[in-house]
DNA sequence: ATTGGACTTA
């Protein structure tokens, strides 16, 4: 007896060694040779050893050759199946287990329930629950949490709540964790009312309880609610702070995200990678270079290791703040680059108009053994579009489908439309849209519209604008687009008609805003803004600038105004676009010799673009403007986009 | 005797 034991043990040792040296097949063969293929201990170990290799078929094979399955063997197989994402097979083996009357134990259910959750099968979830009750399995706190978690992941909040309420109120079973899972489930289902109710009723709360609730408010976009609980939270941890920071950023309040981060540092809470990524992404959104640099300094001073996540966030911050060379420096220093890292770098080159570098980066990525995905291709197509390389772009588009089997998304189609459109090949763009296998969406028609607008093809622009209106009748952009077409041709009656319709439907024009960072402060402007403390000085500077530019040949282009107003007023309306106000403010407050960086949430209008060129020459300063599409580097009267955007 | 008990927050 003793000898058999030892032999089995030495087999188990062999199996452990299999992870490095011996092949599993060889072990299995030996198992047979020594007649241990029916030893459940050895078989259980062998099945478990298959899992990390993904040798799941082999694990099933071993399982089938075992004649007298017991819970141990079943459990290890179900576990292995779950780990290899074979959820339905895991479930069917559980059914098999029941069929053979093998009683499941405490290690069976966690993985079966998780499989049901991953399969997103609501009915299966409930029947597993009944099965547990039927066989009289004890519903201890472990099983309850597993069940609760499964219901939450199946979006079956009702069943989760029912199970929760019938749980005896002893602290041991209704643990903090159980409450937290429940609160989190309510938050996932956007049922904040119940979440708060549960939270208030909890006998004890830990940080995760608070954070879960705060996160619930963040997810529904209620930052005041989130702030309320955040302020009341007695001991905020990193997660609490990060939730707020990324919450502000997700809800488009990047300035507050930065403020919250600074506050966090003042409170002496040490940021982790999640925090750094969130705050860097907030910087990237508004092009807050100084803030971003300070975070980079923090990273260096505190010896934070650059890894895939924070490194990628740094690259994106620099790229979107106009410092593509700094982005490249971080990129070169990074040891472990992921797919996202490469994509961010490619898109970075693309939006700065560095087509060759984007191509090189794309090739280098493939050499590094990373397979490009749809996002990487989108970057490379953007690069082609921005530099007018139509044939190259089409070549990449075909490569994506034929060599990489990536089904193009609507974004890719929109990019190709853009590619044709910018090159002035409008007919081809339209034909491309008509031949698309998927229904063209708002972005696709929008790309065509912009191209028509730039090429002054009013007929096709009207067609595109009508499609936009059909697709998004409540989107303000659709009306603006259409009205812009009419405005350009002087059809003021039609412009008025569109405006009335907009008013009837109570559609508000989404405001264009611009950000400019001065020193360490971010200033925000909307068109016609008078909220800034320096408003008077800004406007007089702008007037001076416009006058000087006019003397140099600048002609205000009033075609960009949508309303039918007197010529002079029109000049006013384009004259106070947010990017112009930001520019004037920058000229006053940013020391000479430093770049002026402006970020705009929409596309820059042609008039502003023209004025920026004059301003860069007259002030002998570099102006870096980022709009929703790309970067414009203005230097000595010329823009890096070569007026092609 | 064997099987990494469950799980939440960015």
Q: What does the pLDDT look like over A455-500, one tens digit per residue?
A: 878 889 889 988 988 888 877 777 877 787 787 777 888 888 888 8
Q: Which nucleotide is nearest to A142 (CA to C1')?
A: B6
Band the pLDDT of A10: cuts 50, 70, 90. Answer: confident
- End-to-end Cα distance, chain A: 82
Residue nearest to nucleotide B10 (CA to C1'): A243
CA distances from A314 to A295, A407, A454 (A): 9, 30, 34
pLDDT reading at A140 higher than 60: yes
Q: Does any strand B atom come closer than 7 Å to the Cβ of A122?
A: no
Going by C-alpha positions, the residue among A122, A129, A168 that lies closest to residue A146 is: A129
Residue A112 CB in 7 A reach of strand B: no
- Cβ atoms of A406 and A374 within 8 Å: the answer is yes
The mean pLDDT value for A105-129 works out to 95
Q: Is the pLDDT of residue A86 over 50?
A: yes
pLDDT number for residue A537:
94
Rounded-to-integer distance, Cα A348 and Cα A379, Å: 8
The rounded distance, in Å, linking the Cα atoms of A61 and A613 is 71
Q: Phi and psi for A236 in degrees, rounded to 5?
A: -80, 135
Sole residue written with tokens 């979006």: A155
The answer to whether strand B lies under 7 Å from the CB of residue A246 is yes
Contact criterion met (CB below 8 Å) for A215 and A187: yes
pLDDT band (50, 70, 90) for residue A506: confident
Give the pLDDT confidence score for residue A564 in this predicted structure.
44
Residue A641 contacts residue A353 (beta carbons within 8 Å): yes
Report which residue is nearest nucleotide B2 when distances run from CA to C1'.
Answer: A41
- Interval A232-253: pLDDT, tens: 999 999 999 999 999 999 999 9
pLDDT for A279-330, tens place per residue? 999 999 999 999 999 999 999 999 999 999 999 999 999 999 999 999 999 9
Instruction: Verify if strand B has an atom below 7 Å from the CB of A175.
Output: yes
* Nearest to A414, CA basis, from A370, A381, A462, A383: A381
Residue A596 β-bridge partners: A623
Whether pLDDT at A573 is above 90? no
The residue-averaged pLDDT of A88-111 equals 94
CA–CA separation, A293 and A49 (whole Å):
47
Q: Six-digit token pair at A275?
A: 């925090």
Q: How far apart are CA A456 and CA A424, in angstroms?
A: 10
Q: Computed from CA positions of residues A386, A388, A390, A393, in that sequence, does the dihedral angle turn out positive or negative?
A: negative
Residue A36 has pLDDT above 50, yes or no: yes
Question: Residue A565 above 50 pLDDT?
Answer: no
Q: How far apart are CA A612 and CA A485, in angstroms?
A: 24
* Lookup: tokens for A180: 């937290």
Q: Please report the DSSP string for A6-29 in residue order.
A: HHHHHHHHHHHHHTTSS-HHHHHH
Is pLDDT at A509 greater than 70 in this prediction? no
> What's the mean pLDDT in A53-75?
89
pLDDT digit string, tens, across residues A385-443: 988 899 999 999 999 999 999 999 999 999 999 999 988 899 999 999 999 998 999 88
Give the rounded distance of the alpha carbon of A24 from its chain centre.
41
Rounded Cα distance, A163 and A129, in Å: 10
Phi-psi region of A237 (alpha: psi -120 to 50; beta: other; left: phi over 0): beta
Nucleotides of B under 7 A from a protein CB: 1-10
Average pLDDT of chain A is 89
Taking residues A537-557, what's their average pLDDT? 91
Could you count the other beta carbons within 10 Å of the beta carbon of residue A25? 11
Q: Higher model confidence: residue A51 or residue A311?
A: A311
A19 — pLDDT class (breaks 50, 70, 90): low
**Residue A456 corresponds to which tokens in the numbers above?**
């002054």
Q: How many CB atoms lie within 10 A of CB A592?
A: 8
3-state percent breakdown (helix, strand, coil) of chain A, nearest 5: 65, 5, 30
Q: What is the pTM of this model?
A: 0.84
Nucleotide nearest the Cα atom of A5 (by C1'): B1
| pLDDT above 80 (res A521) | yes
pLDDT above 70 for A124: yes
């Amino acid at each position: 007896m003793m000898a058999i034991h030892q032999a089995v043990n030495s087999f188990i040792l062999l199996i452990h060694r299999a992870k490095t040296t011996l092949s599993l097949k060889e072990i299995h063969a030996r198992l047979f040779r020594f007649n241990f293929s029916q030893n459940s201990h050895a078989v259980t170990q062998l099945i478990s050893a298959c899992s990390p290799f993904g040798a799941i078929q082999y694990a099933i094979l071993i399982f089938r050759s075992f004649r007298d399955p017991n819970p141990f063997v079943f459990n290890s197989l179900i576990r292995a199946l779950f780990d290899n994402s074979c959820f339905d097979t895991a479930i069917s083996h559980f059914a098999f287990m029941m069929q053979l009357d093998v009683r499941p134990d405490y290690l069976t259910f966690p993985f079966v329930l998780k499989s049901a959750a991953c399969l997103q099968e609501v009915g299966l979830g409930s029947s597993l629950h009944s099965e547990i009750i039927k066989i009289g399995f004890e519903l201890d706190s472990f099983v309850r949490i597993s069940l609760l978690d499964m219901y939450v992941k199946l979006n079956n909040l009702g069943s989760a709540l029912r199970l929760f309420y019938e749980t005896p109120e002893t602290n041991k079973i209704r643990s903090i964790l159980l409450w937290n899972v429940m609160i989190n489930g309510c938050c996932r289902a956007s049922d904040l009312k119940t979440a708060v109710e549960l939270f208030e009723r909890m006998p004890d709360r830990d940080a995760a309880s608070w954070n879960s609730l705060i996160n619930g408010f963040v997810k529904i976009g209620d930052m005041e609610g989130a702030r309320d609980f955040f302020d009341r939270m007695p001991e905020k941890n990193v997660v609490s702070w990060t939730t707020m920071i990324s919450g502000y950023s997700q809800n488009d309040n990047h300035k507050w995200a930065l403020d919250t981060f600074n506050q966090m540092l003042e409170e002496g809470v040490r940021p982790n990678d999640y925090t750094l990524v969130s705050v860097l992404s907030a910087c990237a959104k508004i092009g807050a270079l100084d803030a971003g640099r300070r975070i980079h300094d923090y990273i260096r001073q505190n010896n934070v290791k650059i890894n895939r996540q924070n490194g990628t966030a740094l690259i994106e911050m620099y790229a979107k703040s106009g410092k593509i060379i700094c982005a490249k420096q971080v990129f070169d220093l990074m040891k472990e680059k992921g797919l996202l890292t490469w994509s961010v770098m490619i898109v970075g080159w693309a939006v700065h108009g560095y087509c060759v570098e984007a191509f090189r980066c794309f090739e280098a990525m493939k050499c590094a053994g990373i397979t490009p995905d749809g996002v990487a291709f989108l970057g490379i197509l953007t690069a082609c579009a921005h530099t007018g390389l139509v044939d190259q772009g089409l070549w990449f588009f075909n490569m994506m489908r034929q060599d990489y089997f990536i089904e193009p998304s609507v974004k890719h189609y929109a990019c190709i439309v853009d590619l044709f459109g910018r090159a002035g090949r409008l007919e081809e763009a339209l034909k491309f849209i008509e031949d698309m296998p998927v229904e063209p969406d708002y972005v696709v028609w929008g790309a065509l519209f912009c191209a028509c607008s730039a090429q002054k093809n009013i007929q096709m622009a009207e067609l595109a604008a009508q499609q936009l209106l059909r697709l998004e009748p409540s989107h303000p952009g659709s009306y603006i687009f259409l009205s812009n077409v009419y405005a350009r041709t002087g059809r003021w009656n039609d412009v008025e008609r569109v405006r009335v319709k907009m008013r009837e439907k109570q559609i508000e024009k989404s405001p264009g805003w611009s950000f400019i960072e001065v020193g360490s402060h971010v200033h925000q402007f909307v068109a016609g803004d008078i909220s800034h403390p320096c408003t008077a000085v800004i406007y007089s500077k702008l007037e001076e600038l416009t006058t000087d530019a006019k003397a140099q040949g600048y002609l205000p282009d009033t075609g960009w105004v949508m309303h039918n107003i007197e010529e002079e007023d029109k000049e006013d309306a384009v004259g106070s676009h947010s990017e112009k106000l930001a520019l004037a403010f920058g000229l006053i407050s940013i020391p000479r010799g430093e770049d002026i960086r402006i970020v705009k949430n929409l596309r820059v209008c042609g008039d502003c673009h023209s004025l920026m060129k004059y301003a860069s020459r007259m002030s002998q300063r570099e102006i870096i403007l980022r709009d929703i599409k790309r970067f414009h580097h203005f230097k000595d009267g010329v823009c890096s986009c070569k007026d092609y955007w």
